[in-house]
Amino acid sequence: MEDLKRTIRSYTHVSDADMEFGLQFYKKQIFKKGTYLLKPGQYIDSFYFMKQGCVSYYTMEEGTTQVMEFFTEGYFFTDLYAYIEDIQSQSYLEALEDTVVYTISKADVQKVFDHSHQLERFGRLSMQRTFVINFQRINQLRNLSNQERYLELLKKRPTLFQRVPQYLIASYLGLTPVGLSKIRKRLSQK
Amino acid sequence: MEDLKRTIRSYTHVSDADMEFGLQFYKKQIFKKGTYLLKPGQYIDSFYFMKQGCVSYYTMEEGTTQVMEFFTEGYFFTDLYAYIEDIQSQSYLEALEDTVVYTISKADVQKVFDHSHQLERFGRLSMQRTFVINFQRINQLRNLSNQERYLELLKKRPTLFQRVPQYLIASYLGLTPVGLSKIRKRLSQK
DNA sequence: AATTCTTATTAAACTAGTTTAATAAATATC
DNA sequence: GATATTTATTAAACTAGTTTAATAAGAATT
């Protein structure tokens, strides 16, 4: 779990003792391609750290999938909304590839935060990071055209386009497969 | 500062001693209508609690204002993005009315978090709350039409429409004054 | 009360997307 | 290797917004 450790320490100092206390609760878990970590109606009790693989986070709105995020290596993730609000999830977490995660239960997260001020601070700072990402996401949705958002994604996460089918990327960008195809055509003609 | 105290305790238990330690750093501050708490290029060093009034949080993109939020009574606020990232702000915080806030500096926030695990937890939980609000915002931007978003805002914050000019609300909803006017006309004809 | 300034509506032409349906290309399965 | 399935593109008709400009209504100032 060296990469998990490294990721935590990229946020704030954590003593070896506190780190050891925290890490003891994480368990390795494997999901085959096409299986679900979470489905609508379930309560989510886990936080995940992505060791290897790709998971899509999406809802089903009137028969069409609405992809909110693709989680790849190094991401901390869960259905954070349902996790925080302690409500039945409305979302899917689906493994788009064979996936390896480290997982910790909500109760154990609480134990860790109660035991260690340093790790509670890590919790606050990682929440801040999530805020920054969401803030940038909102600004992109508001201020950029679909074409600009496509180009932005191409620049920021180029490997995604090799791992994930285009119609899911279209959904992530908030448009239809037809729409994305048009944009790509427009761009290739220039 | 009773309402500030009450708001903090709505997140998590805080002992009287810790609360007293925290509150000592807050100072009352008044901004006249039309004045700025923050302008682009400045670094933001304060967190605010809105006691009375209304502040708009916006950027200027190619000559047009892009309203991200209206802060009203009971809100904790700042330019959170610039605050967290420690960068020059790109935004305005403008008092749309005569406004009374309680303010605390970044350094003092750090002192408070260092001194009190309970208040650091409050910090984490309020960051979680911000996450939930942003999450819902993103979902609205992605899944609702402009008309639906207008109706949603009308339902959730009806008083805003009495305090804030319509073209700023249009901007907040991500459309032009003309666009919002069209939507209102369409709705009134039904 | 008259004037100015700000805010809201309307009209007309335009645009970047949508939906539906057909087709083509790529991938997986037998 | 042929067939079936999934994924991507294209075309055509449509739609909800945009921009620009003119007008109307409301509020503040003299």
Q: State the nearest Cα–Cα gap between A80 and chain B, in angstroms.
A: 8
Q: Domain segments of chain A: what residues?
A: 2-143, 145-190
Neighbours of A113 (CB within 10 A): 21
Residues 6+ apart with CB under 8 A from B82: B43, B44, B88, B89, B90, B91
**pLDDT at residue number A92:** 95
Q: What percent of chain B has pLDDT over 90?
A: 84
pLDDT at A127 over 70: yes
In whole angstroms, give the CA distance from residue A168 to residue B129.
29
Q: Which of B85, B154, B188, B28 is nearest to A132 (CA)?
A: B85
Read off the pLDDT of each residue in B14-19 and give the average, rounded to a whole number: 96
The answer to whether A96 CB is within 7 Å of strand D is: no
pLDDT at A64 over 90: no
Packing angle of the helix pair B146-156, B117-143 (nearest 10 deg)? 140
Distances in Å between the alpha carbon of A44 and those of A93, B54, B58? 10, 37, 35
**pLDDT at residue number B171:** 95
- Give contacts of B89 with chain A, Cβ < 8 Å: none
- The CATH number for A2-143, chosen from 2.40.50.140, 3.90.79.10, 2.60.120.10, 1.10.645.10, is 2.60.120.10
- Give contacts of B174 with chain A, Cβ < 8 Å: 142
- According to DSSP, the residues that pair with A60 across neighbouring strands are A65
Chain A interface test: which of B121, B133, B136 (most A C-beta within 10 Å): B121
**pLDDT at residue number B67:** 94
Q: Is A48 exposed, middle or buried (0-12, 13-18, 19+ CB in 10 A)?
A: buried
pLDDT at A115 over 80: yes
Indicate the range of A68-72, A147-151, A169-173, B62-66 predicted with least confidence: B62-66
Coil, helix or strand at residue A34? coil
pLDDT digits (tens, 9 = 90+) for A7-46: 999 999 999 999 999 999 999 999 999 999 999 999 999 9
pLDDT digits (tens, 9 = 90+) for B78-122: 999 999 999 999 999 999 999 999 999 999 999 999 999 999 999
Which residue approaches D6 most closely, CA to C1'? A165
> Closest nucleotide to residue B145 (Cα to C1')?
D16
In whole angstroms, give the CA distance from residue B149 to residue B173.
7
pLDDT digits (tens, 9 = 90+) for B153-164: 999 999 999 999
Q: What is the band of B190 on the pLDDT scale with cuts at 50, 70, 90?
A: low
Q: Which nucleotides of C are covered by protein (CB under 7 A)?
A: 6-12, 16-21
How far in angstroms lies nucleotide D18's C1' from the CA of residue A127? 37
pLDDT at A189 over 80: no
Are A175 and A147 within 8 A, CB to CB?
A: no
- Give contacts of A85 with chain B, Cβ < 8 Å: 132
Distance between the two ends of chain B, CA-based, in angstroms? 47
Distances in Å between the alpha carbon of B141 and those of A38, A61, B148, B152, B163? 24, 14, 10, 12, 23
Alpha helices, H only, B42-165? 80-85, 106-115, 117-143, 146-156, 160-163
**CATH dotted code for B2-115:** 2.60.120.10
How far in angstroms lies nucleotide C7's C1' from the CA of residue B167? 8
H or E element that contains A146: helix A146-156
Residue of A nearest to B121 (CA): A120
Q: What is the band of B127 on the pLDDT scale with cuts at 50, 70, 90?
A: confident
Q: What is the band of A190 on the pLDDT scale with cuts at 50, 70, 90?
A: low
In whole angstroms, give the CA distance from residue A43 to residue A46.
9
Read off the pLDDT of each residue in B13-31 and give the average, rounded to a whole number: 96
pLDDT at B28 over 70: yes
Q: pTM higher than 0.75 for the full model? A: yes
Decide the pairing of beta strands B76-77 and B64-71.
unpaired
Q: What is the band of B143 on the pLDDT scale with cuts at 50, 70, 90?
A: confident
Coil, helix or strand at residue B88? coil
Are A37 and A93 within 8 A, CB to CB?
A: yes
The dihedral sign for the CA sequence B102, B108, B113, B116 = negative
pLDDT digits (tens, 9 = 90+) for A84-112: 999 999 999 999 999 999 999 999 999 99
The dihedral sign for the CA sequence B99, B105, B110, B116 = negative
In whole angstroms, give the CA distance from residue A51 to residue A60.
27
Residue listed under structure tokens 């050891």 = A20
